[in-house]
Amino acid sequence: MYLAGHIGVALLLFAPLAYVLCRTGHPGRALGGTVTMLLLAALPDIDLYLPLAHRGPTHTVWAALCLGAVLWLVWRLSSRRPGHDAARFASLLGVLSVLGHLLGDVLTPMGIRPFAPLVATEYTLALVAARHPGANLVLLAAGVLAVLPSLRRAWALSVRPDPDAAGG
């Protein structure tokens, strides 16, 4: 997949979580999580700019777990608030973003080896070429449409003025 397709898959994966976050009183996390997923959607393709094989180590479940661990650690070290909820959420977003990328790439004939180097099996559904503009656009549109209702609700909840702050 190309960037648009990866963003679409990331949003599709995050949409159910965004819905739950909005419904349970965490609209800020729904908005922040959406932005984070957008920013991290193409991160595994950093291998295009590094001396690594494309769809190599950055396209594995190990990379997903590593990114989750790094985000957890960064959040814990940078946060002044006690507790692990936000760090766990950041970790979850890291893992989900890489897994979403892998899901997008497994749709293509090139496939992925998500458990390399432990398991060399290549997985592919070979549904569509990564460069197919229609497939990338459909994934992007599906992702936007899936997350949009939650984003609208989150935005409305986060910008609604506090009635007590107006002195009324």
Token readout for 61 is 């479940």
- Quote the pLDDT of residue 164: 53
Where in the chain are the domains?
A: 3-158
- Quote the pLDDT of residue 168: 44
Give me the average pLDDT of each 10-residue run along the chain (168 residues): 97 97 92 96 96 96 98 87 82 97 97 96 96 97 96 84 49
SS3 123: strand
> Within its chain, how far is the Cα of 168 from the centroid?
41
CA distances from 72 to 90, 99, 114, 140 (A): 6, 17, 22, 28
- Quote the pLDDT of residue 167: 47
Q: Read off the DSSP letter of residue 112.
A: B
What beta strand segments (E) does 6-74 contain? none
Report the first-to-last Cα separation within the chain, whole angstroms: 53
| 27 contacts 155 by C-beta, under 8 angstroms | yes
Question: Is the dihedral angle over the CA atoms 46, 140, 38, 25 positive or is it negative?
Answer: negative
Question: What CA–CA distance (Å, rounded) separates 117 from 138?
Answer: 33
SS3 124: coil
